[in-house]
A = this chain, B = another copy of it.
Amino acid sequence: MKRLLLSLRFIGTGYHGWQVQDNACTVQGEVQNALERLLGSRPAVTGCSRTDSGVHANQFCCHFDTGKNLPPETIVRALNHYLPLDIGAVACREVSGHFHARYSCCSKEYVYKIYHSSVRDPFWEGRAFLTGGPLHENWMNAAAAAFLGAHDFKAFCAAGAKPGDTVRTVKHIRVEREGAFVNLIVEADGFLYNMVRIMAGTLLEVGRGKIPPQKVSEILEGKDRGQAGPTAPAHGLYLNRVVYSFDDEGTRKADFHG
A interface residues (Cβ-Cβ under 8 A, vs B): 9-11, 56, 58, 76-77, 80, 85-91, 119-123, 125-127
Q: Which residues of B contact A127 (CB under 8 A)?
A: 123
Q: Which residues of B contact A80 (CB under 8 A)?
A: 119-120
- B9, B10, B121: the one contacting A9 at CB < 8 Å is B121
Is there contact, CB below 8 Å, between A85 and B9?
no
CA distance in complex: A72, B186 (Å): 39
The one of B89, B90, B91, B120 in contact with A88, judged by C-beta atoms closer than 8 angstroms, is: B120
Provide the bound-state CA to CA distance between A9 and B109, in Å. Answer: 31
**A257 smallest CB distance to B (angstroms):** 13
Q: Which among A85, A87, A120, A122 has the greatest number of chain B C-beta atoms within 10 A? A: A122
- Bound-state Cα–Cα, A58 to B88, Å: 25
> In whole angstroms, what is the CA distance A127 to B127 when docked?
14
Contact A11 B122, beta carbon cutoff 8 Å: yes
User: Can you list 27 pairs linking A and B with CB atoms under 8 Å apart?
Assistant: A9-B121, A9-B122, A9-B123, A10-B122, A11-B122, A11-B123, A56-B123, A58-B123, A76-B119, A77-B119, A80-B119, A80-B120, A85-B120, A85-B122, A85-B125, A85-B126, A86-B122, A86-B125, A87-B122, A88-B119, A88-B120, A88-B121, A88-B122, A89-B119, A90-B119, A91-B119, A123-B127
Output the least CB separation between A119 and chain B (Å).
Answer: 6
Bound-state Cα–Cα, A121 to B87, Å: 8
Residues of B within 8 A of A85 (CB): 120, 122, 125-126
CB distance from A234 to the nearest CB of B (A): 16
Q: How close is A39's CB to chain B, nearest CB, in angstroms?
A: 19
Chain B residues with CB under 8 Å of A77's CB are: 119
**Complex contacts, A121 vs chain B, CB 8 Å:** 9, 88
Closest to A126 in B: B85
* CA gap between A87 and B119 in the complex, in Å: 12
Q: Which residues of B contact A88 (CB under 8 A)?
A: 119-122
Task: Enumerate the 9 nearest inter-chain pairs by beta-carbon distance, A residue then B residue, closest first.
Answer: A88-B122, A85-B125, A86-B122, A11-B122, A88-B120, A80-B120, A9-B122, A10-B122, A90-B119
Known contacts A88-B122, A91-B119; can you find 9 more A-B pairs with CB under 8 A?
A: A9-B121, A58-B123, A77-B119, A85-B120, A85-B122, A85-B125, A88-B120, A88-B121, A89-B119
